[in-house]
Amino acid sequence: MGKVHLLPVYDYLVERIRQVDSSTLVFYEPMTHSLFLPIVGGTGMGRVPGFHIDPKERNRSVLSYHYYCWLLWFSDPRSQMSWFQQELCDKTIITKAFNTAHASRKKTGGGMFLTEFGRCAPDGHERSINTVECSTILRTADERLMSWTYWGGDFLDDYGKPINEQLNYFSRPYPQRTLGTSGHLKFDVRNGSLEYAFLTKPTKGTQENKIILSMYLPSSVHYPHGLAVCVEPDVIPTEIIGNHLILNVPKEMTNVTFSVNVNIRRLPQPEQRWSSTYFAVENIATVSSDRMNCHFYC
């Protein structure tokens, strides 16, 4: 249905847009049945809008898709998530939905973006639908290296104050710029630990392309007392600038491809700094190797 009812409209709109703007990314969305019936459905898109006129549209198009588990719409989100709900929603439907979007993007080319999900808001109860569903979606998006936006939440209470439980889940560290190919991203909201791995691409040692990673760090939310950053290989220059972790390519590795592993851990409160050695041994040694260099930023 998307091919018949939506694609002709998108083709027309892209053609008009390109008359005045040749570079802006165009987000296009499939029919809703690909959201509610991902097990048997699909986006219906065999190409990106405008591709029949200009194949370069692949580089300027983004598949916009949503995810909701319709089964949960009939339950109080504050209630405990049942085994059946979790099996169907968080192990079956979400996997099929993400796979459907990925298969479509693989066929058409272009980018993809989870532009809407919601009907959940972490509430401090580990087994509630609110917490389990949002946590699963965010974790799945991280695992699949997927950008996302959330629907219907401002994370403020009735008095205009931030809801910390929601901020903890939705304010997450993420790589804003990677000079290479991302391979693995994992974040634990409970302790602020993060793992990120990527493969660089060869680069000349010029000033303009020295940065191989710029990662956003929500310091006030997850690292109020500082953080430990471990990087492999250990020769990679590492620094914190504002709320960003910056990695620069070493001079001796400017023209080669190499793997990079980044591990971040939350530092304890100031009154616990006397046990920093214990912290380093217990929390850093588990991710360290002979080629990993660790830095503490307090």
pLDDT in tens, 130-165: 999 999 999 999 999 999 999 877 788 889 899 999
289 pLDDT above the threshold of 60 = no
> What is the overall mean pLDDT for the chain?
88
SS3 173: coil
Report the distance separating Cα 197 and Cα 232, nearest Å.
9
Q: What is the pLDDT of residue 276?
A: 52
pLDDT at 281: 44
Q: Which residues of 268-298 are buried (b: 16+ CB within 10 A; e: fewer)?
A: beeeeeeeeeebbeebbeebbeeebebeebe
Q: What's residue 278's pLDDT?
A: 45
Task: Compute the average pLDDT of residues 237-242.
Answer: 94
- 30-43 pLDDT, tens per residue? 887 665 565 556 78
CATH 2.60.40 maps onto the chain at 175-297
Encoding tokens for residue 214? 């710029």
Q: Residue 282: is its pLDDT beyond 80? A: no
Share of the chain above pLDDT 90, in %: 69
The kind and range of the H/E element at 35 are helix 33-36
pLDDT range class, residue 285, cuts 50, 70, 90: very low
CATH 3.20.20.80 spans which residues of the chain?
A: 2-170
Report the CATH number of the 175-297 domain. Answer: 2.60.40
Sheet containing strand 238-241, edge to edge, reads 174-178, 211-216, 244-248, 238-241
Residue 119 CB neighbour total at 10 angstroms:
17
Contact 184, 195 (CB under 8 A): yes
Percent of the chain, pLDDT > 70? 87
Please check whether the domain covering 2-170 is classified as CATH 3.20.20.80. Answer: yes
List the alpha helices (DSSP H) in 197-262: 219-222
Strand partners, 61: 26
DSSP category for residue 47: S
Q: pTM for the full model?
A: 0.87
User: Among 94-98, 169-173, 216-220, 274-278, where is mean pLDDT lowest?
Assistant: 274-278
> Within 13 Å and on the Cβ side, how many CA atoms surround 55?
0
The SS3 of residue 262 is strand
